[in-house]
């Protein structure tokens, strides 16, 4: 990815230029430019099937079909925290074990209290000892979101449809949390159909001004 290893904080966290993605012989988007700076939030909008998920997965290195120049500012640890559609929760591990594993992967070692606090933030404190397979899809998703409440996370969060599994109160709580994250200087790239009201963000809409046809 990036060849320059500068730690200059005036650099944007992400600078992506001339992104192009073709999938099953269909052009999803092209000439897409994205810039994400510290303390800011960027929302990827667009109707279903316009390539929001493909774009976000491509940016974090999970989709090689996305082409173009993608420059993340180099950091020592992994530059992102990614929340995708799949919950990342093993059916045979308990909620607590799952959450601890997600933290350990990022080199964090939160204590029991921090883990419980994170679970409480997504309203799952009663489930800490249940195996993943006993949770509903929405609850599994919330375990992954609980990760956002752990201390010591990377500064850049990439969240694909983070609000889907939450009720009204949960959505509001998460919006406040994301707002606080940006206020502390973190950056946020997210996709959602609904429009958060609590914090400021820029929007990039996919599927507009797209010309059909060949290159």
Partner 1 sequence: MMFLLRREWLLSWRRRSELINPLVFNLMVVALFPLGITPDPDELAVLAPGILWVAALLATLLSLDLMFRYDHQDGSLEQVATSGTPLAALILAKILNHWLFTGLALTLMSPLLGLMLNLPISLMPLTLLVLALGTLVFSTIGAIGAALVAGLRRSGLLLSLLVIPLYIPVLILGTGSINAALAGVSFVAPLSALAALACMALALAPWVAAAALQLSIND
Partner 2 sequence: MAFSMTPVWRWFHRWTSPPNFYRIARPWALGLMLVGGVALLVAWIWGLVFAPEDYLQGNSYRIIFVHVPSASASLAMYLSMAILAVISLVWKIKLADMVLRQCIPVGLTLTALALISGAIWGRPTWGVYWIWDARLTSMLVQLFLFIGMWAIHTAIEQQKLADKATAILVLVGFVNLPIIKWSVDWWNTMHQPATIRITGETTMVWEMLAPLLLSMAATYCVVAALVLYRTRWEILYRERKTRWVQDELGLRGQA
List interacting residues with partner 2 (CB under 8 A): 3, 25, 64-65, 214-215
Find the binder of partner 1 among 102, 124, 148, 178 (CB under 8 A). 102
Nearest-Å Rg of the Cα atoms of the chain is 18
Q: Which is nearer to partner 1, 88 or 170 (CB)?
A: 88
The C-alpha torsion from 94 through 165 and 183 to 191, rounded to 10°, is 120
Find the binder of partner 1 among 6, 9, 86, 176 (CB under 8 A). 86
Question: 3-state secondary structure string, the chain?
Answer: CCCCCCCCCCCCCEEEEEEEEEECCEEEEEEEEEEECCCCEEEEECCCCCCHHHHHHHHCCCCCCEEEEEEECCCCCCCEEEECCCCCCCCCCEHHHHHHHHHHHCCCCCCHHHHHHHHHHCCCHHHCCCEHHHCCHHHHHHHHHHHHHCCCCCCEEEEECCCCCCCHHHHHHHHHHHHHHHHCCCEEEEECCCCCCCCCCEEEECCCCCCCCCC
CB of 145 to partner 1, least distance (A): 13
Q: Which is nearer to partner 2, 45 or 65 (CB)?
A: 65
Interaction partner, residue 3 (partner 1, partner 2, none; CB < 5-8 Å by kind):
partner 2
Each residue 42-81 as x (binds partner 1 by CB under 8 A) or -, in order, gives -----------xx--x--xxxxxx-----------xx-xx
Q: Which is nearer to partner 2, 5 or 64 (CB)?
A: 64
Interaction partner, residue 82 (partner 1, partner 2, none; CB < 5-8 Å by kind):
partner 1
Determine the Cα–Cα distance for residues 145 and 215; give it in Å rounded to an integer: 39
Q: Which is nearer to partner 2, 65 or 93 (CB)?
A: 65
CB of 63 to partner 2, least distance (A): 10
Interaction partner, residue 93 (partner 1, partner 2, none; CB < 5-8 Å by kind):
partner 1
Q: Which is nearer to partner 1, 64 or 113 (CB)?
A: 64
Contact positions vs partner 1 (CB under 8 A): 53-54, 57, 60-65, 77-78, 80-82, 84-93, 97, 101-102, 104-107, 132, 144, 158
């Amino acid at each position: 990815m990036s060849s320059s290893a500068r730690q200059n904080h005036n650099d944007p966290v992400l600078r992506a230029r001339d992104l192009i993605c073709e999938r099953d012989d269909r052009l999803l988007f092209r000439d897409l430019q994205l810039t994400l700076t510290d303390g800011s939030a960027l929302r990827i909008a667009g109707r279903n099937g316009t390539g929001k998920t493909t774009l976000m997965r491509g940016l974090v290195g999970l989709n090689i079909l996305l082409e173009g120049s993608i420059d993340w500012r180099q950091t020592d640890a992994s530059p992102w925290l990614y929340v995708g559609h799949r919950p990342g929760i093993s059916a045979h591990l308990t909620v607590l074990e799952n959450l601890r594993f997600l933290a350990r992967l990022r080199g964090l070692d939160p204590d029991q209290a921090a883990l419980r606090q994170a679970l409480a933030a997504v309203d799952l404190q009663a489930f800490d000892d249940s195996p993943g397979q006993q949770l509903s899809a929405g609850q599994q998703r919330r375990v992954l979101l609980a990760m956002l409440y752990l201390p010591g996370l990377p500064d850049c969060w990439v969240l694909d449809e983070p609000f889907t599994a939450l009720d009204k109160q949960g959505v509001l709580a998460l919006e406040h949390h994301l707002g606080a994250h940006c206020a502390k200087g973190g950056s946020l790239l997210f996709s959602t159909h609904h429009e958060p009201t609590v914090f400021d963000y820029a929007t990039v809409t996919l599927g507009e001004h797209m010309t059909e046809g060949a290159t």
